[in-house]
Amino acid sequence: MLLYNSATRKKEEFTTHTDGKVNMYTCGPTVYHFAHIGNLRTYIMEDVLEKYLRYIGYDVNRVMNITDVGHLSSDADTGEDKMLKGAKREHKTVMEIAKFYTDAFFSDCAKLNIKTPDVVEPATNCVNDFIKIIEALLDKGYAYIAGGNVYFDTSKLDNYYVFNNFEADDLAVGVRDSVSEDKNKRNKTDFVLWFTKSKFEAQELKWESPWGLGYPGWHIECSSISIKHNGEYLDIHCGGIDNAFPHHTNEIAQSEAYLGHPWCKFWFHVLHLNTNNGKMSKSKGEFLTVSLLEEKGYDPLAYRLFCLQSHYRKAQEFSFEALDNATAVFAKLISRIASLDENDGDIDNDTVEKYRKRFIDALGNDINTSLGVTCVYDVLKADTNDSTKLYLINDFDRVLSLDLIAEAKKFNEKKSAPSESGEDKEIDDLVAKRTQARKDKNWAEADRIRDELNARGITVVDTPNGVTWHR
Ligand code: AMP
Ligand code: ZN
């Protein structure tokens, strides 16, 4: 399998520390708000990567943290703790906020068929592990205490800028983010391992430590949780591209300083989902969630397909028109699969091998998901019987996770359900009114009609050949 490695900036043959086994780590969500569909793009692409590794026979151990402490508003250790911000916004405690948004995150993941990692570990469960590593870093001379906080000394490393080509001045993120610089730092790129002093004394969660009552920095939690559950050698680390610097650079710095040897070989970064206003982000306050898409009548799996249509190393632009297109493509694909007959002869093993190879090659070339989806169309067009086609589609769906067979079954069940012709006529009329409103560019009226139809359990699908609807 060829995979782009952000650490070497090259596509490389994927190899692991132990034959047949993959130790995988994913930066989990900061649970102070709902995950937006941009965050979920990253988790969808990581899910495909994980499922593909399993598909080609690897035994994968995937670990993910839940950031419920220590992630400050600026990634450069300044600003308010994001969790505290969320708690204040909703007049709740930090732990209440963490529980609510952790549950919401996994409920969104389930709707998008994103598998829950083998290990999910909240940072607040691991404070003693963080303290142990910080003590070792102090002992080895990689860390220092200043103004009550413990800092990592980046000048002690030969190569700190793993994910960045820029000069030190450009990397002064604290300055760049127009928040005040921390005068305790010996070098601009040093980062906090343990806080006892912050401008925000109202920090709700604090723990006893050898350096006083305080709380951990964000970066140490990922290094520590990964080492705890994946051991000293990590095969692949995933995250959105905004995590590459400073978060992942700092993870490498402290993990390798602590372990005394190289830590993680492959770095998999997913580019952002953007809107026409730029990157979708939680801190901007305005963002789209899975629930919001559902309220508008979209199937979360159509969003998954939308993500699979583009490569993870390219930024993807979100628009409702693009999602409408993906919805139409999904509906058409399901209707084609629904027309296949599962009792159409024996499965042809030669054809299975031929198309499986094509699918493995498509995804094995740096997780080319759109080519993976094309393989489903290739199977539909293949010169073989329907049983073989259904077998292959089901097989590819172990990685794509679009519920292709189950959705096709549902489609056939609905088709054979008795029609309520009086109501159907009324719905046809409403759909026609909506189409007219869209032609007149009266978007508010078109949305209103769509909402009314959704409230009645009707999904409207815009296809290049016109508008269709289903219950
Ligand atoms: P957070 O919950 O902010 O810690 O982010 C969770 C994950 O989503 C991280 O891997 C981020 O890098 C990623 N992420 C944040 N914004 C976006 C975006 N607009 N598009 C894709 N991934 C993102
Ligand atoms: Zn992380």
Quick check: helix, strand or coil at residue 54?
A: helix
Average pLDDT of span 269-273: 96
Q: Quick one: pLDDT band at residue 175, thresholds 50, 70, 90?
A: very low
By the 10 Å C-beta count (0-12 exposed, 13-18 middle, 19+ buried), 94 is classed as: buried
Question: Distance between the two ends of the chain, CA-based, in angstroms?
Answer: 42
Question: What is the share, in percent, of the chain residues with pLDDT greater than 90?
Answer: 73
pLDDT given at position 364: 98
Quote the ligand 1 centre to 162 CA distance (angstroms).
20
**pLDDT score of 178 more than 50:** no
130 neighbors 205 (Cβ within 8 angstroms) = no
Which residue ranges make up each domain of the chain?
2-270, 278-417, 419-471
Closest to 238 (Cα-Cα) out of 18, 41, 392: 41
Mean residue pLDDT of the chain comes to: 91
pLDDT given at position 382: 98
User: ∠ CA(277), CA(280), CA(283), 5° rounding?
Assistant: 110
Pocket of ligand 1 (CB under 6 A): 27, 29-30, 38-39, 41-42, 67, 239-240, 242-243, 270, 272-273, 279-282
Which tokens is 258 given?
């602590």
pLDDT given at position 53: 98
Average pLDDT of span 366-390: 98
* CATH number corresponding to 2-270: 3.40.50.620
Lowest model confidence (mean pLDDT) among 95-99, 302-306, 315-319, 378-382: 95-99
Lowest model confidence (mean pLDDT) among 31-45, 119-133, 173-187, 259-273: 173-187
The single-letter code of the amino acid at 236 is I
pLDDT given at position 170: 47
Quick check: helix, strand or coil at residue 285?
A: coil
Whether the ω angle into residue 246 lies within 30 degrees of 0, i.e. cis, is: yes
CA of 273, closest atom in ligand 1: 20
C-alpha dihedral, 406 to 412 to 415 to 416, nearest 10°:
-120
**pLDDT score of 169 more than 70:** no
pLDDT tens for each residue of 336-373: 999 999 999 999 999 999 999 999 999 999 999 999 99
Q: Quick one: pLDDT band at residue 93, thresholds 50, 70, 90?
A: confident
Domain range 278-417, CATH class: mainly alpha
Lowest model confidence (mean pLDDT) among 25-29, 155-159, 322-326: 155-159
Closest to 64 (Cα-Cα) out of 263, 296, 234: 234
Q: Give the largest CA-CA distance in the chain.
A: 79
**Phi then psi dihedrals of residue 467, to 5 deg:** -105, 135
**313/421 Cα distance (integer angstroms):** 48
For ligand 1, atom 8: residue with the closest CA: 39
Quote the ligand 2 centre to 222 CA distance (angstroms).
5
